[in-house]
Structure 1
């Protein structure tokens, strides 16, 4: 028998590639859509079918006919923008079931023809992260209200104390008069104390929004974070490696996800100016703890800044975007769950965050 023709061989490879794509789309746990350059929905993964209420009949339909399930009116414009520019696009969106997703629209480029022939849309579930951030925003506002209230509500008792002290200095009356003024001063002090205690009463229920524990897999959450940071990883040319020796822990899923996301995000944001980020995520046993560490080769942190980075609204550099809340939230989550966080860093060489997590039994 003769050798197969180049055309037959190319056709065979195309079939194999299509089979691989079909296998990938059938088995991935991530909601994904493949939309061609004519805005026709060509494929979607099983999770996309569940989350967006898609059916086999939706294949071949214009994306505008099915996008109502996604609750994002500009999705058509965004797809066209990506096809035209061949650049990724990332946005947070909400679906019809009120869940939040990070939507990544990636150009599908036909390399041989060097043109974009459609997009692959990936949806990363960030609902837990949004809930945690909202919870901490609410808690932060409560703290601010406490500060404002204390500032306002103790002015009266303080003014009263000032007046009584002036009278006490000026009085030359009897011991009985002096004692009466001292008693009034004591009442004013008690009034201030009770005001401060009442206003600063942060009940445990105020932070229960992030405490539900379940068995979570580190590799899955690292992959979630990696996918959520796809654009930043690509833009920075970052390499993220994992060494997973402890695969699972029983803790709040949303907390562990948020911890990993924040530490990975920081490792990319604070990269060295002369090299691409090289990041390593490890998990291992450390006595009574599970140790999660995130190491990078970034700018590093000065010794006198290693404690203040965990304080609220602390930002080490103005040229790096952020609110200064990330590490404050991470530290709060870790310590509220009975763990601790440490940092090792050398300026110009890199940083390692060590998160000691205490899983629930």
Structure 2
């Protein structure tokens, strides 16, 4: 009689415990799954049903049959790991609805038998934290790029001004020539100020410098770049031509200018020693992008270095002046706006850089 009474009490406690577990799973707002030691999904909370698109028919199914909803390919291995080790596991995962969660897999241990009878998997929403972290990483990357761009893009105008000042210092310069040079210096300083203002306004506005797209005229930007590089163009006798089929683009003006300036500067810098630099700048409309190409007849790039040219501080020729950050800047600016940059090149014949501004 006593033994029967004891069994009845234990059964009652089990029923009460099960009811409590059912009540907990029904009312918690946290996505949770209960998977037994045979990898069978036994219970899940309403929040888990919503987030992982589960239904009542999923109860009793092998977790492998519903793991695609959770978008975490190693979840089976992780469950086995927790069951075997009896130690909790924590990982960050992304679900099929593109949201990020911290996944905690906790062992469900039957104390009397000292064995793990399954796991309880809890998902904590960390999407805002992940998105904020990515925003900060992008902001830091853009600050780094803008600092490089500030240093790199103002070197040309400063060098141009220095050359003009040297002309003024020549004693045999006549008055007309002096006035003309002074006007050129004034224009160069104006363009330099414009470049600096554009690049540093990120600090004043606290916004991403690659944002704020506007209607940008390619001819005007090319003219600015040519003026900034005037001394290098004169020194090398470079001939620059353009074929502009698409005149305008909706993009960040400062970035378009920096992209064209860097590509044009490189085309002059890496000229072939035995011929005059010939540089062609083109724009054309593609099905889903505006294509800007800058082609030259310079030294060219070896096949195994075509990717490396876009890395920071990469210099293809030790004898060529430069810091090796120009194409790194260009790549970051293009990709941050969803575009792409490619290069085709033949050693000894020249290179063509293709910038795809996605529409």
TM-score (norm 2): 0.51
Structure 2 partner of 1:144: 144
Structure 2 partner of 1:33: 33
Residue 3 of structure 1 deviates from its aligned partner by 12
Q: SS at 1:54's partner residue?
A: coil
Structure-1 separation of matches of 2:2 and 2:65 = 50
Structure-2 separation of matches of 1:115 and 1:162 = 80
Confirm or deny that 1:9 pairs with 2:13. no
Structure-2 separation of matches of 1:49 and 1:157 = 61
Structure 1, residues 328-350: CA drift from partner, whole Å, max 9, x if none?
xxxxxxxxxxxxxxxxxxxxxxx
Structure 2 partner of 1:82: 82
Which structure 1 segments of 5+ residues have no match? 210-361
Matching of residues 191-340 of structure 1 within 5 Å: 191-202=191-202, 206=208
Structure 1, residues 234-262: CA drift from partner, whole Å, max 9, x if none?
xxxxxxxxxxxxxxxxxxxxxxxxxxxxx
Which structure 2 segments of 5+ residues have no match? 212-359
Distance 1:175 1:58, change over 3 A: same
Distance 1:130 1:189, change over 3 A: same
Residue 4 of structure 1 deviates from its aligned partner by 9.2
Q: SS at 1:10's partner residue?
A: helix
Structure 1, residues 122-171: CA drift from partner, whole Å, max 9, x if none?
11122222222333333333323322222221111111222233344454
Structure 2 partner of 1:107: 107
Is 2:40–2:62's contact at 8 Å kept on the other side of the alignment?
yes
Structure 2 partner of 1:55: 55
Residue 174 of structure 1 deviates from its aligned partner by 6.3
Structure-1 separation of matches of 2:96 and 2:157 = 52
Structure-2 separation of matches of 1:196 and 1:116 = 65
Residue 188 of structure 1 deviates from its aligned partner by 2.5
Confirm or deny that 1:124 pairs with 2:124. yes
Is 2:142–2:208's contact at 8 Å kept on the other side of the alignment?
no
Q: Which moved more, 1:77-86 or 1:180-189?
A: 180-189
Structure-2 separation of matches of 1:153 and 1:125 = 43
Structure 2 partner of 1:133: 133
Structure 1, residues 290-310: CA drift from partner, whole Å, max 9, x if none?
xxxxxxxxxxxxxxxxxxxxx
Structure 2 partner of 1:68: 68
Structure-1 separation of matches of 2:116 and 2:66 = 22
Structure-1 separation of matches of 2:134 and 2:173 = 59
Structure 2 partner of 1:45: 45
Structure 1, residues 61-112: CA drift from partner, whole Å, max 9, x if none?
1111111211222111111111111122222222222222221111112222
Structure 1 partner of 2:319: none
- Determine which structure has more spread, i.e. the larger CA radius of gyration: 2
| Matched length | 208
